[in-house]
Amino acid sequence: MGLSALAALTACGGGGGGASVSEGTGDITFGSNQSDAVPKAAYQKIIDGFVKESGSKVSINTVDHNTFQEQINSYLQGDPDDVFSWFSGYRMRFFADQGLAGDISSVWDTIGKNFSESFKAAATASDGKQYFVPLSYYPWAVFYRKSVFEDKGYEVPTTLDQMTEISTDMLKEGLDPIAFGDKDGWPAMGTFDILNMRINGYDYHTKLLAGEDSWESDQVKEVFNTWTKLLPYHQKGGLGRDWQETAQGLLQKKSGMYLLGMFVSQQFQDAEGGDALKDLDFFTFPEINPDYGTDSIDAPIDGFMMSAKTQNGGTAKKLLEYLGSAEAEKINADADKGLVGPASNMDTSNYTDLQKKAAEVVGKAKNIAQFMDRDTRPDFASTVMIPSIQAFIKNPKDINNILKDVEAQKKAIFVG
């Protein structure tokens, strides 16, 4: 086989952006990454609602979350579903830029009024057009059990010093002050994000993750220095624990605070006859640099995109309009109490206290980040940052070397 043949073999697929999408109105398929019983049922209910309203036929193709993510590239270039689940941020823009996702600006003409500007911005790719419809989001914050704080008389900290103080108290009480589990590599990204936004501000954070500033900068070093000072309060052995096991520690009142996404509440849902969930509360990560206060938060948005290859863009867009409606968002938020619906006109009467607070905290934030693995190149996040942050946790003193490697790899990756 000659090289040219190989090149041909490997080069087919893909295509430029801006291709016009068919407006057919036939039956469509819907790619879902929700294989858990509860959200799966919620999606089914949403689709049923759409089918009833529109009379179109939609078949759901469910692939579990992990597999879906591992397949996404081959999926989009192969034979994707007409509408599929995905995430906002860089991850959305990447596929939009490659011409793998269809322009759905016309959908936003209809649903735009349901969402605030920040959600629209999160659905917009670099060409200024929209490619994404948000269904839900959740904040990353510090979770704790109200009863523990009451019993021991801890106050919710508003500055890093206060947080360190109660951490010291917790250590004395035999608690793990900061629950920590990073076996899968991504949870610790949340710690980096929030420290960086608190210390250096949202704009710097965005710039850094876009590859426009050096990882060896003083700002980044300051983030890791602060983190190093907090490490003694972190639960030991975090690299061998997944987040579920870590959450159990918080549930069993063995640890005091846990910085994680609101999905942590799923571990509390059935415990103690439902009382544990009521006892769960959170606060936004305390202020470090007064210049930035607590004006930023990680609140990743999940939603849907349309394949550029769809033959039935008409039906697909109608489905996306429905997915962006207050009705669909409510079905989802009612089913999963770890999420909040982004539609501003949505009926929130069924919200739990936690959901209400989440909507409020995110609503108050000036800047909303999407989480490191959604705000930077996915190849950089997964192949460079996961091992590097883990290396830092293992050996904080080596941070200068680690950052040197990160910067070198960043330069190699952020080329095209």
Partner 1 sequence: MSAATLTPGEPDSARDGAAAGTAGAATPGAPLPGSRPSRGGDGGADRKAPLRPGRVILHVSLILWGAIWLVPLAWAVYTSLRPYAETAEKGYVSLPDTLNFDNYVAAWTQADLPHYFLNSLYIAVPAVVVVLFMSSMAAFVLARFSFKLNLAMLMFFTAANLLPQQVIITPLYRMFLSLDIYNTQFGVVLINVAFQMGFCVFVLSNFMKALPDELGEAAQVDGAGVWRQYYQIVLPLTRPALAALATLEFAWIYNDFFWALVLLRDGDAMPVTSALNNLKGAFFTDNNLVAAGAVMIALPTVVMFLALQKHFVAGLTLGSNK
Partner 2 sequence: MSTLTQKTRPAKARKVRRYSTTDRVVLALMLGIPALVVLAFVWGPALGSVFLSFTRWNGVTAIQPVGFQNYEQIATIYPPFWPALLNNVIWLLVLALVATPLGLFLAVLLDKNIRGTRIYQSVFYLPVVLSLALVGFIWTLLYSQNQGLINQLSGAHVNWLGNSDINIWAVLVAASWRHVGYIMVLYLAGLKGVDPSIKEAASIDGANQRQTFFRVVFPVLKPINVIVLVVTVIEGLRAFDIVYIINKGTNGLELLSVLITNNIIGEASRIGFGSAIAVILLVISLVFIVTYLVQTFRKEDAR
Instruction: Name which of 26 and 78 has its Cβ closer to partner 1.
Output: 78
Distance CA 297, CA 304 (A): 22
Taking each helix axis from N to C end, the angle separating 386-394 and 187-209, rounded to the nearest 10 degrees, works out to: 120
State yes or no: residue 13 binds partner 2 (CB under 8 A). yes
Instruction: Name which of 37 and 415 has its Cβ closer to partner 2.
Output: 415
Please give the size of the binding site for partner 2, defined by CB under 8 A: 49
Among positions 27, 36, 151, 360, the unique one binding partner 1 when judged by CB under 8 A: 36
Instruction: Name which of 201 and 300 has its Cβ closer to partner 1.
Output: 300
Distance CA 325, CA 343 (A): 7
State yes or no: residue 3 binds partner 1 (CB under 8 A). no
State yes or no: residue 214 binds partner 2 (CB under 8 A). no
Instruction: Name which of 67 and 400 has its Cβ closer to partner 1.
Output: 67
Among positions 25, 56, 62, 348, the unique one binding partner 1 when judged by CB under 8 A: 62
The interface region with partner 2, picked from 25-33, 340-348, 352-360, 379-387 by CB under 8 A, is 379-387
**Each residue of 241-251: b (16+ CB within 10 Å) or e?**
bebeebbbbbb
Binders of partner 1 among residues 271 to 330 (CB under 8 A) are 271
Among positions 158, 217, 219, 248, the unique one binding partner 1 when judged by CB under 8 A: 248
What is the nearest approach in angstroms of partner 2 to the Cβ of residue 9? 6
The strand ranges marked E within 111-201 are 133-137, 140-145, 176-178
What is the nearest approach in angstroms of partner 2 to the Cβ of residue 410? 10
408 makes contact, choosing from partner 1, partner 2, none, with CB < 5 to 8 Å by partner type, with partner 2
Instruction: Name which of 121 and 412 has its Cβ closer to partner 2.
Output: 412
Instruction: Name which of 59 and 350 has its Cβ closer to partner 1.
Output: 59
State yes or no: residue 85 binds partner 1 (CB under 8 A). no
State yes or no: residue 270 binds partner 1 (CB under 8 A). yes
Distance CA 144, CA 156 (A): 9
What is the nearest approach in angstroms of partner 2 to the Cβ of residue 216? 13
The strand ranges marked E within 301-383 are 301-306, 367-369
Taking each helix axis from N to C end, the angle separating 37-54 and 326-335, rounded to the nearest 10 degrees, works out to: 160
Binding track, positions 392-411, relative to partner 2; x by CB under 8 A:
--x----------x--xx--
Do residues 68 and 33 touch, judged by C-beta distance below 8 A?
A: yes
- Here the contacts of 152-158 (C-beta below 8 Å, separation 24 or greater) are 154/256, 156/283, 157/283, 157/286, 158/286, 158/287
Among positions 18, 26, 232, 240, the unique one binding partner 2 when judged by CB under 8 A: 240
Amino acid at residue number 243: W
Among positions 24, 49, 64, 390, the unique one binding partner 1 when judged by CB under 8 A: 64
> Burial of 154 by CB count in 10 Å (0-12 exposed, 13-18 middle, 19+ buried)?
buried
State yes or no: residue 383 binds partner 1 (CB under 8 A). no
275 makes contact, choosing from partner 1, partner 2, none, with CB < 5 to 8 Å by partner type, with none
Number of H helices, E strands in the chain: 19, 11
Distance CA 184, CA 189 (A): 11
Among positions 93, 241, 309, 337, the unique one binding partner 2 when judged by CB under 8 A: 241
Distance CA 202, CA 193 (A): 9
